[in-house]
Structure 1
Amino acid sequence: MAAPVTWQELLAEKKQRQLDAIPKDWIVAVPSDDVLDVTDVPASCGLLTTKELGITEMTDIELLLRKLASGELSSVEVTVAYYKRAIIAQQVVSCLTEIFVDKALERAAWLDEQLKKTGKPVGPLHGLPVSLKDQVAIKGLETTIGYISWIGKYATRDATLTEILYDCGAVPFVRTNLPQTIMWPETYNLIFGRTLNPHNRKLTSGGSSGGEGALLGMKGSPLGVGTDLGGSVRIPASYNGVYGMRPSCNRLPYEGLVNTCEGQDSMPSVLGPMSHSIGGIKAFMKAVINSEPWLKDPLAIRKPWDEDEYKLKHHGAGGKLVFGFLWNDGAVLPHEPIQRAMKMTREALEAVGHEAVVDWVPYKHAELYKIMRAIGTAVGQADYNAVIQLTGEPLIESMDGNPNSYALVTHKGELSAFELWQVHKRRQVLRKEYLDQWQATATTTSTGRPVDAIISPTAPWAAPPHGKNTNADYTRVYNALDYVACVFPVTKVDPAIDKKPPPHQFFSERDESAYNLYDPEVFKNAPVCLQLVGRTLEEEAVIGMTEVVDRALKAHISRHSDTP
C-alpha cells in the first residue's frame, strides 16, 4: 500500500488507525443525536461490570490512590475500568486522540508486580490512570495538536511531565482532543472532529483542553492534564463540571510538550490538572512538585511543596477568610445561572463565618485583555502557516464552520519587536498596579489582611452552543497577571429557576450580544462553575482555600437540598 501523500489521504489513514485502536468488544450502542445528556451511558450500556462502575464513580481520588497503594485495588483492574469508560466517552462525545490500550495495561501490570514484590507503591500516584492533553509527548506516539501536517510525527522521547508521571507510579492511558492550533476556547479539528459536552451535546466542551474536560465530565478518567494560556484548563473544567487549576508560569514542568507559537515566552502556556475532586488536584500538584521538576526542566521554578502554605499560614491559618467577589468585569454581564452561583457561594461562605461580601473592582481588566490579545497575535498567522503549508491542509477559521463567525486564530496584524516590547512593558506596569490595589484592601477588611482570594466567573456563561464561545476574558486576565486560579463546581443551569431577566443597561455591543445569546432551554443542564483566584505562586494556598469554599458549598447545598 502506498504511503499517504495528500492531506486528505493522511487524514483518512489516521482516522482509520484511531478506529482500529478501539477493542471491538468495547463498542457500544450510541444514543441518537436527540439524547443530549449522555453522562448515564456508561452505567446503562452494559460494558462496565458492577465493580468497574464503582471504581469509575469514585470521585474521591485520594481514596482511590489509597486503595491502589494498599493493593485493595489493582492497577490493571482500575486501568481497564477507566479505559472502558474512556472508550465509551469517545463514542458519544469524541474526546480522544491517541488510544494505546496494550501499552497502558503493560504498565499497570508492571506496577502491580512491583507492589507485590516490594510491598511498597512505586510513587504517590501508584497505579492511577492519567489522561493527557494531546500536547504531552509520549515516546512512540504521534502528537499532532490537531494538525493533519503533523500526522506521522512520532515522539522520540517523553516530555518531562511524562517522565515524572512514570516516576510517580502513574499510568498514562489516553490522550485527549484539542482544537487545531490550540488557540481556541472550543475543541474541533479535522482529524478527530468536534468534542461535545456530555451534559448537553448541543453545547461546547470548551477549549483548548476540551477533550480532557469532556472525558472528565464522563468520568472516563480520574485525573487529567491540560494546558492553559488564556483559560484552556479552566474553561473546559467549568463547562464540564469538574475541578481544574491554572498554576503560575513554570511551577510545573512544560519542557518537551508539543506546542503552537513556540518561542513566545513572555506569557507562556502552563500545565494544569483536572479532576473530580479538589483532592485530585492536590495529589497531582504535590506529587509533581515533590519530584523536583527543576532538575529536569531548566525553566521550572525551584519551589518545593509548602505544607504551611497549604494550611493557609499567611491567610489566618484558615480561620476567617475574606473573599473579593468579581460580579462582572465591566465589559460583559454574566448570565443568570452564573450570577446565581456567585450568590450561592457568597451565602455558603458567610454561613460558616467567612467575610465574602467584598466587591472586587475589575481594575483595568479591559487593558489587560488587550495586552493578552496583542501578545497572542503578535506574529499574525506566521506560526500556523508554517505548519499547514507542509501539506496544504486548510486552517480552521471558525468553530461552527461558518467563515463569518468569530475567528480567534486568523488575526493578520503583526507587531515589530519594538512594538511588542512596549506591550510587555505596559503589562509589567499593570501587574504592579494590580498588586498595589490588592495590597490596599488590607485597610478595608475586618482581618487586617488584604483580601485572601477572588471569587470570579470563569466565563460570562455556562457552556454555550458550538461556535459561540467568543469570550475568554474572565480567565485570561489572570494569565496576564500570572495569578493562580482553581475552578470548582457549584450548580447546573435549571430553566425553571434561571429565567432570562429583562434587558439591563448594556456595557457594550458585546454585552448586548451575550444577553441575546442566553436562552434557559438552550443552556439546560450545563454545569456552572466558578474560579478562586490567588496571587502568583500561591498554588498551595489556592488549593487550601478552594477546599474551604468547596466544603462550605457542599454544606450549603445539603442544608438547601431543593437547590439545584
Structure 2
Amino acid sequence: MTVDWKELVADKRRRQQETIPKDWLIGCPPDTVLDVTAIPEQCGLLSERELQITNTVDVAVLLQKLHSAEWSAVEVTTAFYKRAIIAHQLVNCLTEIFVGRALARAAELDEHLKTTGKVVGPLHGLPISLKDQICLKGLETTMGYASWIGKYADKDAALVEVLYECGAVPFVRTNVPQTLMWAETYNVVFGRTSNPANRNLTCGGSSGGEGALIHLKGSLLGVGSDIGGSIRIPALFNGLYALRPSYGRVPYQGAVNSMYGQDSIPSVLGPLSNSLSGIQIFMQAVIGQKPWLKDPLAVRKKWDTEEYALAEHGGGQQLCFAIMWNDGIVVPHPPIIRALETTREALLRAGHKVIDWQPLKHLELGDAIAAIWKAGASEDFKATTALTGEPVIMSMSPVDGAGPGDPSVRPDAVGMTAYQLWQIQKARADLRKEYLDHWQKTVDTTGTGRPVDAIISPGAPFAAPPHGKNFYSNYTKVFNALDYSACIFPVTRVDVTKDVKKPAHTFLSNLDETNYNLYDPVVFQNAPVGLQLVGRTLEEEAVIAMTEIVDTALKAGSAA
C-alpha cells in the first residue's frame, strides 16, 4: 500500500517542532538579512556563561575544563543545545532533536566524575553532532527520504558505541540532501539548509547541516560522511577544519547510506570542527577504542604517534608542499587563487619548500568515480522512494531545473552491466598506480631527498555558490578515487576589493567557462575560503600534523 509522502512529511515536521523547548525560540531576522553569524550572541537567549562556553572553539580547551569539572557536562551540553536550536532557526540545519536524552547522558557523566574522580574517556562530556545517517537507537534516521520516516533504529551505529565509550554526548543530528549524492543540502522532509555567512549561498553537502551548525558554533565537533567531498565541501564553505580519512579508518557499520553494497568507492565517516585540535582529538579517541572490533571493515591500525611526529617527513623540520593551482579542467575563482598564494607565502616564510603540482589524469579519475556511482544509483533511489512515491530530487536549485547540478551525482544516471563496471574498476585501479608513481617521481624535484610531503589544493573552484549552482566536485572526488587522506583548513573570506573578476583566460573546458561566468565577487561576498591538504592513503596522523604546520604558518602570517 502506498503511503502519502506529503502526510508523512507534515507529521514529521510537526513532531520535530514539538521537540524544541518553547523558551528557546527566538525572533528571527527577515530573509533579507544574509549574514546571521552574529545572531546567536545578539538574540539574548544565551547567558554570559553560555556564550563563554560556546565561544570556546578549541576542543582541547573545552575538554580540559570538562575534565577538571570547571564546567559540568550538563551546562556545556545545555549551552551548545541552545545555540544549536538558535542555529536551526536561522539556517534550518537540524533533523533529530532529543534534549532530554542528551541531558540525561550528560548528568550521568557528571555523576561519574563526581563519585569516582575519573572521566569516562577522552571525550568526556563533549557534545557531538551527527549527520543524519548515523543511527542512534530509538530514533528515526530518514536521510532526507520521506520513505524512511517512521523507521526507528534498533541499535546504535558502531561509531556511536565508540563515542559513548569515549564519554561523548551525542546531542543533535543534522540535515542532508535526499540520497546524500549532492554537494548541497535540500530534501522534501526538512527542506533547505543555508550558509550562515550569506543565506543566499549554499552550505554545501552532503554534510551541509553539520557545516552550517558548526559555523554558528552550535556544535564544536561533528561527524559527517564523504564519498566525493561531502565532509570537505561543507567545511570549505563554512570556514571549518575537517578530515576525509581513508577507507575504513573510522567505523561505518550501522550507518545508513545510499547505494549500500557499492564498495569500490566506499563512503567514509570523519570529523568537522572549528578547531584543528578537534580533528586530532576525535581521530585519536576513536582509533584508541579499537573500532575494528566493532566493524569488520574497519582498518586494524592503531594511532601512530611516530607518524603524527612526521617521522617519515623529516620530523616536520623542512617540508616540501606541492601546490595544485588548478586541476587542468576548471580554473578556480580569484578568492581561491588568493588563498593558494597566501598559503604559499606563509609556508616559504616558515622555511618550508613549495613547488607546483602537476595534476595527472584528473578528468579520467573523476569520470571513473562518477561511472561507478552511476552503475546502480538510479535503481537504488527509485527503490527507496517507491513506497511513498515521493519525487527523486533532480536539482538543488530553488527554481526547478534552473541549476546545472553536478552531472556525476544526478540520480537519473543509466546503469551498466557487471562486466562494464569491472572494466571501470580496473581502469581506476590502474590510475591509482599511475598517480602513486607520479607522486614518487617528485623526489627528483623536492630537494629534501623525499617525494612531495603533501599536496595543497583547492577543494572547489569557488567559495560557497548560490543555491543550485554547485556544479563541480572534481577537486574533492578525485582523492576519493585515489583514497588519499585529506584535511580542510580555512584561509580567508571573499573580499570584493581584493577578489575582483579577472579578464577571461583561455578556457580549459566548457565547465571552466561556466565557472568563469558564475563569478561575481558581490554575489560571493563574505563566503569563507579554505583549501585541502592531501596526503597518502591511511596517512591520517601525518596529514593532521602537516595541516597543523600549515595552519600555524598562516596564523603567523596574519599576525605579522
After superposition, where does 1:368-517 map in structure 2 within 5 Å? 368-400=365-397, 401-403=399-401, 405-407=403-405, 408-517=409-518
CA–CA distance in 1 between the matches of 2:242 and 2:309? 20
Partner of 1:185: 183
After superposition, where does 1:344-363 map in structure 2 within 5 Å? 344-356=342-354, 358-363=355-360
8 Å CA contact retained: 1:4, 1:13: no
Give the superposed CA RMSD.
1.0
CA–CA distance in 2 between the matches of 1:328 and 1:309? 29
Q: Describe the SS at the equivalent of 1:271.
A: strand
Partner of 2:42: 44
Task: Give how far 1:404 is off.
Answer: 5.3
Task: Give how far 1:410 is off.
Answer: 2.6
Aligned residue identity for 1:386: A
Alignment pair present for 1:234 and 2:245: no
After superposition, where does 1:22-37 map in structure 2 within 5 Å? 22-37=20-35
Task: Give how far 1:403 is off.
Answer: 2.5
Residue 121 (structure 1) aligned to one of 119, 122, 133:
119
Counting matched residue pairs gives: 556
Aligned residue identity for 2:486: A
After superposition, where does 1:85-484 map in structure 2 within 5 Å? 85-356=83-354, 358-400=355-397, 401-403=399-401, 405-407=403-405, 408-484=409-485
The runs of 4+ residues in structure 1 deviating greater than 2 Å are: 403-412
Task: Give how far 1:405 is off.
Answer: 3.2
Structure 2 gaps of 5+ residues are: none
Aligned residue identity for 1:550: D
8 Å CA contact retained: 1:159, 1:255: yes
TM-score, length basis structure 1: 0.98
8 Å CA contact retained: 2:141, 2:152: yes
1:178-212 deviation per Cα after TM superposition (whole angstroms, max 9, x unaligned): 00000000000011110000000000000000000
Partner of 2:67: 69
Partner of 2:13: 15
Structure 1 gaps of 5+ residues are: 560-564
Task: Give how far 1:520 is off.
Answer: 0.4
CA–CA distance in 2 between the matches of 1:512 and 1:171? 46
Aligned residue identity for 1:28: I
1:339-361 deviation per Cα after TM superposition (whole angstroms, max 9, x unaligned): 000000000000010002x1101
CA–CA distance in 2 between the matches of 1:275 and 1:7? 35
Identical positions, percent: 62
Q: Describe the SS at the equivalent of 1:272.
A: strand
Task: Give how far 1:4 is off.
Answer: 11
Aligned residue identity for 1:384: F
CA–CA distance in 1 between the matches of 2:256 and 2:428? 27
Aligned residue identity for 1:545: M
8 Å CA contact retained: 1:4, 1:10: no
CA–CA distance in 1 between the matches of 2:266 and 2:507? 33
CA–CA distance in 2 between the matches of 1:235 and 1:412? 23
CA–CA distance in 2 between the matches of 1:283 and 1:409? 36
CA–CA distance in 2 between the matches of 1:68 and 1:230? 35
1:68-88 deviation per Cα after TM superposition (whole angstroms, max 9, x unaligned): 111111000000000000000
Aligned residue identity for 1:350: L
8 Å CA contact retained: 2:381, 2:411: no
Task: Give how far 1:380 is off.
Answer: 4.3
1:105-131 deviation per Cα after TM superposition (whole angstroms, max 9, x unaligned): 000000000000100100000000000
Task: Give how far 1:411 is off.
Answer: 2.9
TM-score, length basis structure 2: 0.98
Task: Give how far 1:443 is off.
Answer: 1.1
